Amino acid sequence: MTKNKNGQIDHSRRAALRMIAAGGVAGLIAPNLLGKPAFAQTPPAAPTGRIIVGLSQEPTVFHPLMAHIEVDDGVNFSMFDALFRITPEGEIVPNLTTEVPSLENGGISEDGLNWRIKLRDDVRWHDGTAFSADDVKYTLELITNPDFRAWRTTGHALVRDITVVSPTELTWRMEEAFAPYLSFLTETFMVPKHILEAQADMNEGAFHQAPIGTGAFKWGRRIAGDRLELVANPDYFGEGPYIEQLVFKYIPDMTVLYTQFRSGDIDVVGQSYLTPDNYAEAKDLPDRVVTLVPKASVESIYFNLDLPQFQDLAVREALYAAIDRMAIIDALNYGVPRETETFMPTQSYFYNPDLPKHEFDLDRARQLLDDAGWVPGADGIRAKDGVRLSFKNSTTSGAHLREQAQQFIQQTYAEIGVEMLIENLPSAVMWGDFWVRSQFETAMVGITYLIGSDPDVTNRFHTKAIVAKGGSGSNNAQYSNPEVDALLEEGARTFDPEKRKDIYLQVQEIIRRDLPFMPLFANTSVYGIKKGVEGFTANANTRTESWHAAGWYWA
Amino acid sequence: MTAITAARSPSHWWQSRVMRRFMSHKLALFGLVMISLLTLACVVGPWLLPYDMLFIDLRARFAPPFTGNHYLGTDPLGRDIAARLLMAGRVSLLVGFIAMALAILVGTLVGVIAGYRGGWINAVLMRTVDGFLSFPSIFLLLALSAALKPSPMMITVIIALTGWMEVARIVEAEVRSLKEREFILAGRMLGLGRAHIMFRELLPNVMGPIIVAATLTVARAILLEAYVSFLGFGIQPPLPSWGNMLNGAQQYLAGAPWLAIIPGAAITVAVASFNFIGDGLRDALDVRSDTV
Amino acid sequence: MTAFLLKRVLQSLVLLVIVSIIGFAVLNLIPGGPMAQYALDPGMTQDDMDRLAEQLGLNRPIWVQYFDWAWRMLQGDWGTSFRDGNPVTTVIGRHVFATFLLMGSSTVIAVAIGTWIGIRGATHRYSIFDYAATIGAMVALSIPTFWFGLIGIYVFSLKLGWLPAGSMYTIGDGSVLNYLHHLIMPSTVLALVHIAIWSRFMRASTLDAISQEFVKTARAKGLSERRVIMKHVVGNALLPMITLAGVQLPSILTGALVTETVFTWPGMGRLFLDSLGYSDYPVVMGLLMFSAILTILGNLIADIVVALVDPRIRLA
């Protein structure tokens, strides 16, 4: 990994990491070995060859700090560097820095408020200018500039008094202690002050169309609607790059994406990977390495807890018990995803494996509803106190795997006297106010809860994050539990991984009990790479397969 | 004015020249028979087939055609495609007919008013028609359907909204040429009201072109519904339509091509039938036409 | 001529205003919007989204947004994409070539084959060929273009493996042959409908020309039938087709957009669907205006060309 990694990690972090390795995570790290033959391969001395990554969405936002989506991340990771990098194991390691600040090494003060960052002195921008602490200060200030169309501002908004001590050192103060910030900084890419300051408009200009970073690859050229070519940066300070050219090819159709992977036109299948129905055939293809890689997102059905029928826990439990989850996983999704009971990715250090297991049991579901007083009416639909157990389920229209699951669940629910109507909406409508302001009744949705590997989910489950009730955040289920609120607040202030783990295990336990959403499965991507592509590792702590293209090479 | 219309009606309508000419048009007859059969099958068919069209049976998914009683195979949820095809036909044909009715209604209204009134009313109405015609209607259709809550009625209205302009143009041209004719001038002399002249005198005389346009509009509406639903914006499941049966079919193309072939064939047959009928009607009604 | 041109241009401008109002109203009167794509981002808060909406000027009343947009448009500023901040003209410009390539190649196919079928149908009227062509044309008009594309992909890409299932070329191989290889299926699929239309009109137009006086004279002069057809009929039959070409432009464009979605062709249709998905209104509006201008220009040029070629046609 990075050259200065060793010796910089504090003790408790090491201990934590040992635990990660000991716990069931080892199996999940297996994708690291993707495509590695028994004998050791060594990267070439000089960058050689080209690797083509096929993407089903087109990367178009190249200023890494502007609002963007997942596919844009792959390009950002290749062209830019953040202060820190997150490893597949969830470890935060230095990238543009020489150490990761912590309470132990004094980089973060005891109260968590004062941060000190030490930078590398050998980093240069693609135009040859030296990278320095001024760039970091500029970057962090740009994010909170009210005129700049910035992406996430959470955490950054707490930063005050950024002081450049020397070209390789800077300090700042946090308005309040915020442990997840370290993780946020692994996705905050540094931009060049000397170029952006000279640009008239911070929201558009030459940089936005051909950016200059510090990353392993430099801007090559872009053929819009088709592909983006990056070229090796021979002066890269870190490991790699080992290939001359990195190409992101836009293939909007999943069938074509697969066909081109099969025919060898693309070397790596990126976002949104191979579809589950192709997995069985793909894994037997000669000279292709196809593996299942756990993703950080969880597929689920969200309740709008404001609705009277969902305020009764018995209803939520019964509805959960009446989902034939294994059929959805095995048949509709070809056995690709895995079961889960929580929002936390199964590969996370903070994952709670001891939650009660879901069991598909229609009799139990009926019993639960009977006991709670929901009895079938004349139309066969259960009701209680004049409230019918009937609701709509919505998701993006045209997402046919979800549509299949919806229709399947609809049929099972009808068997226990529950009416589920399907009302799907175009994505711009579905994920607009309808979702954000909790106007849905139930929604089928895949959500990534974590930023980097940080377990903080205040944004999703804290009472103050209910937008429909005037809060700020993404608590779309309108879930409110004072116990969880308190735990989340404590967790965000706590820096010690082991203490944090206790907190988030509890959070998961309570949320599993309260069921503000019904977990269907932990999403799993079907990765496909051509045999001969070495150094490829999956990293569920980032949103992209191309988080470390610097390390890729041809055998 | 009854005298005006009386002149062209023989003793019975089925003995009319129009009828005879239509019946001698073999293709049109073929189209009529096909559409009648298709409609009949869609109306009564679902009751005759041994499978409940919505019953999901995951063990039976992706059965190819002629598996057991599944004459046309099953879909990814194990539902019988034959049954779904017929149910979908109800929806697609209904959408086609209603969209046609709406488009004809609006188009005729605009055409008659613009043609008869002339002047600035004509200018405003016909420039609006030109406006709607001057960008690919598929843009408007997609923009609308990507933006609105997709209900069957909404899709129908949207399709009608992109299909009324041709009718308006045809009617306007006809009315404009008719309004200076003697019987209309006579009507005006007699002091008949504007509305009366427009809808009781002029309209019956432009029915020929309207009927032809109507047939072709149904064909067009079915095609549009199919495309929009194929992209996932149109008719939403669990309600099947020929178009949304194709949504997702592209993904299973290699393993289950019948998912794509069958609904597409149904669309082609229905649309071709309407086009044949339209062609026959055009000949029978002596409509000179600017479109195929 | 000048007066005619002036009138047509003025009419066209009014049309553009109407188009822009229709388009703007449709796009902006809908719920949801550009922020929806960030709604599932783990780190974006409602505050972030509200701030972005404010920065993009989406909080202003619709009519203010419209006049702002229209005023900039008048000055030649098509706005910038919400998504990546690039000028709309740049964004569209990058996709124009692919669409034009597809439209152009399929028009060549359609005109060549359609003209041949049309003339042959007219000169061999009521022959089996003529009947087959008539029925064939009507069936071709009834096949959903996207479905025809799917079947093509199934047969020629998945089963036979002869043609690529999508894309414009293979990366690293920019040769003309490679382009052509990728172009065969989409342009043929797109051409199908237009072969049908073109052949029907060509047939009618040829029949018209055959019955003209000068053809009879030519025949009387003892010219061979072949020469009569080639020299006198075809030229006169093609003249009215110029208008058709202009009128057909929006339909070819529509067809191209549909075809692009099936064959993952990197053109304007693809861009339109993507931009709709992200609610990138400036780009969507830009595409609407661009296609409207194209259509209007097509009609205008057709009118002018006809007027120049055939002085008998009076300019109204």
Same domain, A377 and A424: yes
A72 shares its domain with A173: no
Q: Both C9 and C133 in a single domain?
A: no
Q: Are residues A154 and A236 in the same domain?
A: no
CATH number assigned to the domain comprising residue C150: 1.10.3720.10
pLDDT more than 70, % of chain A: 93
Alpha-carbon gap, residue A130 to A124, rounded angstroms = 4
Same domain, C256 and C187: yes
| pLDDT value at residue A406 | 95
Indicate whether C149 belongs to any domain: yes
C-alpha torsion A97→A103→A109→A110, nearest 10: 170
Contact residues, chain C, for A251 at CB < 8 Å: 166-167, 264
- Residues A546 and A526: their CA atoms lie apart, in Å, by 15
pLDDT of the residue at C310 = 62
The answer to whether residue A292 is domain-embedded is no
| DSSP designation for A129 | P
Domain stops at, among A143, A174, A199: A199
- For B68-110, the pLDDT digits (tens) are 778 888 888 888 888 889 989 999 999 999 999 999 999 999 9
- Looking at CA atoms only, how far is residue C78 from chain B in angstroms? 17
Looking up residue A357, the CATH number of its domain turns out to be: 3.10.105.10
The ipTM assigned to this model is 0.84
Contacting partners of chain C (3+ CB pairs under 8 A): A, B
Which chains reach chain A with 3 or more Cβ–Cβ distances below 8 angstroms? B, C
Residue A446 distance to chain C (closest CA, Å): 8
Same domain, C38 and C176: no
Specify whether C243 is located in the same domain as C132.
yes
Nearest alpha carbon to residue B76 among B261, B267, B248, B262: B248
Question: How confident is the model over C161-174, as pLDDT tens digits?
Answer: 888 877 777 766 77
Overall domain count for chain A: 3
| pLDDT score, position C32 | 65
**C-beta of residue A84 within 8 angstroms of C-beta of residue A95:** yes
Over B105-124, what HEC string results?
HHHHHHHHHHHHHCHHHHHH
Is A220:A212 a contact under the CB 8 Å cutoff?
no
Closest chain B residue to C262, measured at CA: B250
C-beta atoms of A225 and C165 within 8 A: no
CATH number of domain containing A241: 3.40.190.10
Q: Is A210 domain-assigned?
A: no
Does one domain contain both A458 and A487?
A: yes
At C34 the pLDDT is 81
pLDDT tens figures, C202-238: 888 888 888 777 777 777 777 777 777 777 777 777 7
Is residue C220 located within the same domain as residue C251?
yes
In a domain, C48, yes or no: yes
C41 to A152: CB separation less than 8 angstroms, yes or no: yes
pLDDT at residue B1, rounded to an integer:
39
Q: Do A400 and B251 touch (CB under 8 A)?
A: yes
Residue A176's contacts (CB-CB under 8 Å, 6 or more residues apart) are A113, A158, A493
| Domain extent at residue A241 | 36-80+215-287+531-555
**Vertex C143 angle, CA C207 and C182, to 5°:** 100
Length of chain B: 292
- The whole-angstrom separation of Cα B116 and Cα B99 is 25
Q: Which of A253, A422, A426 has its CB closest to that of B238?
A: A422
DSSP A533: E
Q: How far is C296 from chain B (nearest CA, A)?
A: 6
Q: Does C59 share its domain with C105?
A: no
d(CA A93, CA A10): 11
Within a domain: A326 = yes
Question: Considering only CB atoms, which chain A residues are within 8 Å of B148?
Answer: 426, 429
Q: Does B248 touch chain A (CB under 8 A)?
A: yes
Same domain, A367 and A421: yes
Chain A segment 64-93 residues within 8 A of C by beta carbon are 66-67, 69
Residues A6 and A144 in one domain: yes
Lowest mean pLDDT among A415-419, A516-520, C66-70, C85-89: C85-89
Q: Which of A256, A258, A394, A437 is best to mutate for the C interface (most C CBs within 10 A)?
A: A256
Same domain, yes or no, for C172 and C47?
no
Distance between CA atoms of A83 and A184, rounded to whole angstroms?
10
Cβ within 8 Å of B, A 273-332: 275, 277, 327, 331-332
Residues of chain A with pLDDT under 70: 1-41
Do A468 and A417 lie in a common domain? yes
Q: Let me know if residue A471 belongs to a domain.
A: yes
Query: A404: which 2 tokens?
Result: 């299949």
What number of CA atoms fall less than 13 Å from residue B12's CA on the CB side?
A: 3
Q: What are phi and psi of C271, to 5 degrees?
A: -60, -40
- C29/C151 same-domain check: no
Please tell me the distance from the alpha carbon of residue A102 to that of residue A110, in angstroms, as a whole number: 9
C60 and C143 share one domain: no
CA distance C302 to A168: 67
For residues A77 and A549, the answer to whether their CB atoms sit within 8 Å is yes
Q: Which domain holds residue C53?
A: 2-74
pLDDT class of C312 with cuts at 50, 70, 90: low
- What confidence score (pLDDT) does residue A540 get? 85
- Give the Cα separation of B213 and A211 in Å (integer): 55
User: Which residues of chain B, if any, have pLDDT below 70?
Assistant: 1-15, 50-51, 53-54, 135, 287-292
- Find, among C274, C252, C247, C280, the residue nearest to C261 by Cα: C274
Distance between CA atoms of A237 and A221, rounded to whole angstroms? 23
Do the domain assignments include residue A208? no
Contacts of residue A487, defined as CB under 8 A and 6 or more positions apart, other chains included, come to: A503, A504, A506, A507, A510
Residue C218, domain member (yes or no): yes
C133, C39: one domain: no
Instruction: Check which CATH number belongs to the domain holding A152 and give it.
Output: 3.90.76.10
Task: Please answer yes or no on whether C84 and A449 come within 8 Å at the CB atom.
Answer: no
Q: Chain B contacts of A399, Cβ < 8 Å?
A: 232
DSSP assignment of A455-481, as one string?
A: ---HHHH-GGG-GGGT--S--TT----
* Distance, CA of B91 to CA of B222 (rounded, Å): 10
- Residue A299, pLDDT score: 95
- Residue A508: the pLDDT is 97
Same domain as A247, residue A333: no
Tell me how far apart the alpha carbons of residues A20 and A31 are, in angstroms, rounded to a whole number: 16
**C58 belongs to a structural domain:** yes
Residue C31 covered by a domain: yes
Q: How many domains does chain C have?
A: 2
Check whether residue C233 and residue C271 sit in a common domain.
Answer: yes
Q: Indicate if A370 and A511 belong to the same structural domain.
A: yes
Residue in chain C nearest B144 by alpha carbon = C26
| Cβ-defined contact of B257 to C258 (cutoff 8 Å) | no
Would you say residue A204 lies in a domain?
Answer: no
C162 in a structural domain: yes
For B169-211, what is each residue's pLDDT tens digit?
889 988 888 888 888 788 888 888 888 888 888 888 888 889 8
SS3 state of residue A491: helix
Find the closest chain C residue to A61 by CA distance.
C84
Q: What is the DSSP string of A57-89?
A: S-----STTBS--HHHHHHHHHH--BSEEE-TT
A75 shares its domain with A86: no
| C198: three-class secondary structure by DSSP | helix
- Containing A294, the helix (H) or strand (E) segment is strand A288-303
Q: Is residue A273 part of a domain?
A: yes
> Which positions in chain B touch C277 (Cβ < 8 Å)?
146
Are A339 and A479 contained in the same domain? yes
pLDDT in tens, A250-276: 888 887 888 889 888 899 999 889 988
Q: Do C254 and C165 share a structural domain?
A: yes
Cα–Cα distance measured from residue C122 to residue C81, given in angstroms and rounded to the nearest whole number: 51
pLDDT of amino acid B288: 57
Domain stop point among A199, A227, A256:
A199
CB contact under 8 A, B232 and A406: no
- With a CB cutoff of 8 Å and minimum separation 6, the contacts of C67 are none
A499 close to C (CB below 8 A): no
Query: By C-alpha distance, which of A342, A362, A360, A361 is closest to A352?
Result: A342
Delineate the domains of chain B, giving CATH numbers in brackets: 25-39+80-284 (1.10.3720.10)
- The predicted pLDDT at position B13 comes to 63
Q: What are the chain C neighbours of B154 within 8 Å (beta carbons)?
A: none
Distance CA A143, CA A131 (A): 18
Question: At residue A465, what are phi and psi to the nearest 5 degrees?
Answer: -100, 10
In this prediction, what percent of chain C has a pLDDT beyond 90? Answer: 16
Are A256 and A167 members of one domain? no
Q: Are A2 and A237 in contact (CB under 8 A)?
A: no
Is C14 inside a domain boundary? yes
pLDDT reported for residue A22: 34
**Is residue C81 included in any domain, yes or no?**
no
Which residues on A lie below 8 Å from C32 (Cβ)?
426, 428-434
Q: What residues of chain C lie within 8 A of the CB of A446, using their CB?
A: 40
C102 has a pLDDT exceeding 60: yes
Measured between alpha carbons, how far is A132 from A121 in angstroms, rounded to an integer? Answer: 8
Size of interface A-B (CB pairs under 8 A): 68
Backbone angle region of C276, left / alpha / beta, with phi > 0 → left and psi within -120 to 50 → alpha: alpha
Q: Is residue A205 part of a domain?
A: no
